[in-house]
Amino acid sequence: MAKGEDKKPCGMTTTDTRHSHETNTKGEPFMLAVDVGCGTGQSTRVLAPHFQKVVGVDISEAQIGEAKEISGPPNISYFVCFAENLPFNDASVDLILASAAVHWFNIEKFMKEVNRVLKPTGCVALMSYTTHIEFNTMDCADKLSAIFNEAVDLLDNAITLRVINRAKLMFNPQQCSNFFEQLIHKMSAVV
């Protein structure tokens, strides 16, 4: 690690982040994405154009069966397995996605598995229907949880004001851009 570099979660440094972005904006494809808790493969199929190989995994044989019945790109495959015991080599995965499934996982075991299989320049994306999210596995968990909750509160307040005033819920592009730039800046300062 170069002098002045900060270590990121999952072993990523700021140099790694820049290298990953520069490499992939030059057109080199990401290699492997894994959709954990993929269900019928809805999110899995969305990833296919962006990765050489996409694997959907789920604990349910019935869900994997449904996913396999739906027509999809040839770079997608599906397997039955536990989220906490992924069948991938160490540091081999570019993206791990858990879309509306992470609340079913043993999060501590899952995050250990994520750290094992994710490449140093990889990314984990956890999506949920709930706005109550806490980060528990990183050194900066309290700060990230506070930033996330602040962002949710800002959005909730904006929605509430528009409902009370019976105004249409609309954000102009500049408002959205400013909001997300501030959010990214705050999170970057922490991690």
62 and 148 share one domain: no
157 and 91 share one domain: no
39 and 83 share one domain: yes
Per-residue CA distances from 35 to 48, 82, 83, 105, 127 (Å): 11, 12, 10, 13, 11
153 and 122 share one domain: no
Greater confidence (151 vs 138) lies with 151
117 and 182 share one domain: no
Confidence of residue 45 (pLDDT cuts 50, 70, 90): very high
Q: Can you tell me the mean pLDDT for 109-129?
A: 87
Q: Can you tell me the mean pLDDT for 151-177?
A: 61
Which of these three, 83, 106, 130, is where a domain ends? 130
Q: Is the pLDDT of residue 1 over 50?
A: no
Q: Is the pLDDT of residue 95 over 70?
A: yes
**Residues 76/45, Cβ–Cβ less than 8 Å:** yes
| 165 burial level (CB within 10 Å; 0-12, 13-18, 19+) | exposed
Entry pTM: 0.62
Greater confidence (6 vs 39) lies with 39
Q: Is the pLDDT of residue 86 over 60?
A: yes
109 and 49 share one domain: yes
22 and 94 share one domain: yes
Domain membership of residue 187 as a residue range: 138-191
29 and 118 share one domain: yes
Q: Is the pLDDT of residue 17 over 50?
A: no
* Averaged pLDDT score across all residues of the chain: 75
Confidence of residue 180 (pLDDT cuts 50, 70, 90): low
State how many domains the chain has: 2
Greater confidence (63 vs 24) lies with 63
Share of the chain above pLDDT 70, in %: 59
- What CATH number is associated with residue 44? 3.40.50.150
113 and 161 share one domain: no
**How much is the pLDDT for 102?**
83
Q: Residue 70 CB: number of other CB atoms within 10 A?
A: 13
Of the ranges 3-17, 98-112, 160-174, which is most confident?
A: 98-112
7 and 70 share one domain: yes
When computed from its CA atoms, the radius of gyration of the chain, rounded to whole angstroms, is 18
**How much is the pLDDT for 132?**
60
Q: Residue 35 CB: number of other CB atoms within 10 A?
A: 28
Cβ contacts of 60 within 8 Å, gap of 6 or more: 39, 80
What's the full length of the chain, in residues?
Answer: 191
